[in-house]
Every structure is written in C-alpha cells, then in structure tokens.
C-alpha cells in the first residue's frame, strides 16, 4: 500500500472537497481519498504505485489544480 499527499488550490467549500474526492477516487488503484479543506491537502492511499499525473488530471477534472505534483 502506498500513500501520496498533494496540495490542491481553489477549494472553498464542502462541495469542492466532494468533487475532488469523487474524481480522484475513480483513478485505478486508489483505495482511499482524504481531503482537508482548511489546508488544501489531498491524501491518496493506493494498492500500489500511482502516477502523479493521473491524480493531477483527476483533480483538474474536478475543476481544481494540484500545486505540488510529485
């Protein structure tokens, strides 16, 4: 199991958090998604290595931006 943390810019409310969680949760291999609105932190657990570009693309699909892709 792997865990990765990203910072997401542009989230302002609970709906924003839900949108990000939904999109990132659809990425293959993702097992858990946590989003902290106050800090903008997105924590993703997966059953193996994840492609940071796929996570960033999912966040962008939700309408936000990853500011520190790793």
**Tell me: the pLDDT tens digits for 8-34?**
999 999 999 999 999 999 999 999 999
The CB-side HSE value for 36 (13 A sphere, CA atoms) comes to 9
Whole-prediction pTM = 0.92
* Mean of per-residue pLDDT scores for the chain: 94
Task: Say whether pLDDT at 5 is over 90.
Answer: yes
Question: CA nearest 64: which of 28, 24, 31, 26?
Answer: 24
Instruction: Provide the residue ranges of all domains of the chain, joining segments of one domain with +.
Output: 2-66
Task: Say whether pLDDT at 70 is over 90.
Answer: no
The CATH number of 2-66, from 3.30.420.40, 3.30.360.10, 3.40.50.300, 3.30.70.100, is 3.30.70.100
What is the structure's pLDDT at 69? 55
Give 27-35's long-range contacts (Cβ < 8 A, gap of 24+): 27/54, 27/55, 27/58, 28/54, 31/1, 35/8, 35/11
Sheet holding 2-9, edge to edge: 30-36, 41-46, 2-9, 65-66
């Amino acid at each position: 199991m792997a865990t990765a943390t990203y910072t997401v810019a542009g989230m302002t409310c609970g709906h924003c958090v839900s949108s990000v969680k939904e999109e990132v949760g659809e990425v293959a291999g993702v097992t858990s998604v946590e989003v902290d609105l106050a800090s903008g932190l997105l924590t993703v657990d997966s059953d193996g290595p994840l492609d940071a570009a796929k996570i960033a693309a999912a966040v962008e699909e939700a309408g936000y931006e990853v500011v520190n892709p790793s």
